[in-house]
Amino acid sequence: MNEALRRAARLRGTSRPFGSIATKETSTAGGDNARPCCTGRMTAASSDLVDDAGCRPTRVGISACLMGDAVRFDGGHKRDAFLTETFGRFVEWVPVCPEVECGLGTPRESMRLVRVENGVRLLTVRSGVDLTAQMEHFSRSRVSTLVGEDLSGFVLKKDSPSCGLERVKIYDRHGTPARGGRGLFAAALVDAFPLLPVEEEGRLADPRLRDNFVERVFAYRGLRSLFVAGWTVGDVVRFHTAHKLLLLAHAPEAYRQLGRLVAGAGALSRRELERRYIEAFMAGLAQLATTRRHTNVLQHLAGYFKDRLDAASKRELADTIADYRRGLVPLVVPLTLLRHYVRRFDVAYLAGQTYLQPHPKELMLRNHV
């Protein structure tokens, strides 16, 4: 068994099934201005992996080669510095290498997706061995074990016929590639976890996509902490209240839809409320927050201080927001000023908004959007 497999086995051995949590471990309340657990409270100083309330770590699946494990067909790896050195300080990785774990070993013959009469097959490049059934069987089985891994996201290696999420090359009989495929393991993963934040490492080089993915990971983690045994409608109301401005920055329609859902929660079964809330919430966050929507939210926040600030301070705040809208400063600049006023004037409702800090500040994601 190589090191990648040993690491995966170790992690599996320490996992705790989500469904086995008997009582609510975390509070989403703790006062009107407390944030839901695990969303925006994590600090590098507390332990880097868990939030300051001592919650479970945020666990994220990852293609093992991105961790630096030598599992690629040629015995190499594709270690990703942001994932391992920066984001990795705040999450616990669950590495998976479908090709090694399904028994193909390292090094191995390279493989690719090929379109044939009856669909797309996974074939080795030189000898043409059909690995489709082996990989599909492994993927179904491995994905079923991930149900117990308490995952809040997954980062996949782009372009791989096993792990690639989008635009993986599919070759025709003449060896001509066309982009539009999906790796077999990736397909099984998104099929089994349609709401899980899943992204490729290549797309995470884009600051907006990176910010969006990390936001969704911590938000999904918050939802998993919310909907554990014993949750109440009051918990949902508090969670929703804390995420209002975050939702507004992503998807105003989802913001309104979820508001109606929570207001009418009493008419729904608990199961129905949970299902509909999670689906609509994650669909809303999946929409990228635009500069215009961020500007709207910033102006909304500024409105809380119009009777508290003197004229010069109000002008400075308005100018800072305008500079952000015009692309002269990143989002972190107006947000830092607003956070300062939230603290100074002790505005409880705003202090509880995850929008002000949806992920650990050490990631510095809002310095680039």
Max CA distance (Å), the chain: 75
Number of residues this chain uses to bind ligand SF4 (CB under 6 A): 13
Which one of 57-65, 143-151, 222-230, 238-246 is the stretch in contact with ligand SF4 (CB under 6 A)?
A: 57-65
Residue nearest to ligand SF4 (CB): 65
**Which positions ≥6 away from 147 have C-beta within 8 Å?**
17, 18, 192
Query: From the list 51, 80, 99, 150, which residue makes contact with ligand SF4 (rule: CB under 6 A)?
Result: 99
Query: From the list 60, 114, 135, 163, which residue makes contact with ligand SF4 (rule: CB under 6 A)?
Result: 163
Name which of 29 and 100 has its Cβ closer to ligand SF4: 100
Q: CB 49 → ligand SF4: shortest distance, Å?
A: 22
Any idea what DSSP says for residue 204? G
CA separation for the pair 36, 42 (Å, rounded): 11
Distance of CA 186 to the CA centre of its chain: 16
CA atoms within 13 A on the CB side of 98: 33
Q: Does 97 bind ligand SF4 (CB under 6 A)?
A: yes
Which one of 39-47, 94-102, 235-243, 307-315 is the stretch in contact with ligand SF4 (CB under 6 A)?
A: 94-102
Q: CB 211 → ligand SF4: shortest distance, Å?
A: 24
Q: Does 63 bind ligand SF4 (CB under 6 A)?
A: yes
- State how far the alpha carbon of 7 is from the alpha carbons of 69, 80, 104, 263, 351, in Å: 10, 18, 17, 45, 40
Q: CB 336 → ligand SF4: shortest distance, Å?
A: 38
Residue type, 55: C
CA separation for the pair 100, 1 (Å, rounded): 9
Q: Does 249 bind ligand SF4 (CB under 6 A)?
A: no
Question: 10 Å Cβ neighbour count for 91?
Answer: 24
Which H or E element spans position 297?
helix 291-303
Name which of 98 and 360 has its Cβ closer to ligand SF4: 98
Residue type, 190: V
Which one of 65-73, 125-133, 270-278, 310-318 is the stretch in contact with ligand SF4 (CB under 6 A)?
A: 65-73
Query: From the list 8, 42, 55, 64, which residue makes contact with ligand SF4 (rule: CB under 6 A)?
Result: 64
Which one of 36-44, 155-163, 263-271, 337-345 is the stretch in contact with ligand SF4 (CB under 6 A)?
A: 155-163
Name which of 58 and 63 has its Cβ closer to ligand SF4: 63
Which one of 25-33, 60-68, 139-147, 233-241 is the stretch in contact with ligand SF4 (CB under 6 A)?
A: 60-68
CA separation for the pair 157, 164 (Å, rounded): 6
Q: Does 189 bind ligand SF4 (CB under 6 A)?
A: no
Q: Does 162 bind ligand SF4 (CB under 6 A)?
A: yes
Sign of the Cα torsion 292, 297, 298, 299 reads positive
Site for ligand SF4 in 299-358 (CB under 6 A): none
CB crowding 318-356: b at 16 or more within 10 Å, else e: eebbeebbeeeebbbbbbebbbebbeeeebeebbbbbbb
CA separation for the pair 20, 237 (Å, rounded): 24
Q: Does 139 bind ligand SF4 (CB under 6 A)?
A: no
Which one of 40-48, 95-103, 202-210, 298-306 is the stretch in contact with ligand SF4 (CB under 6 A)?
A: 95-103
**Chain contacts with ligand SF4 (rule: CB under 6 A):** 63-65, 71-72, 97-100, 157, 160, 162-163
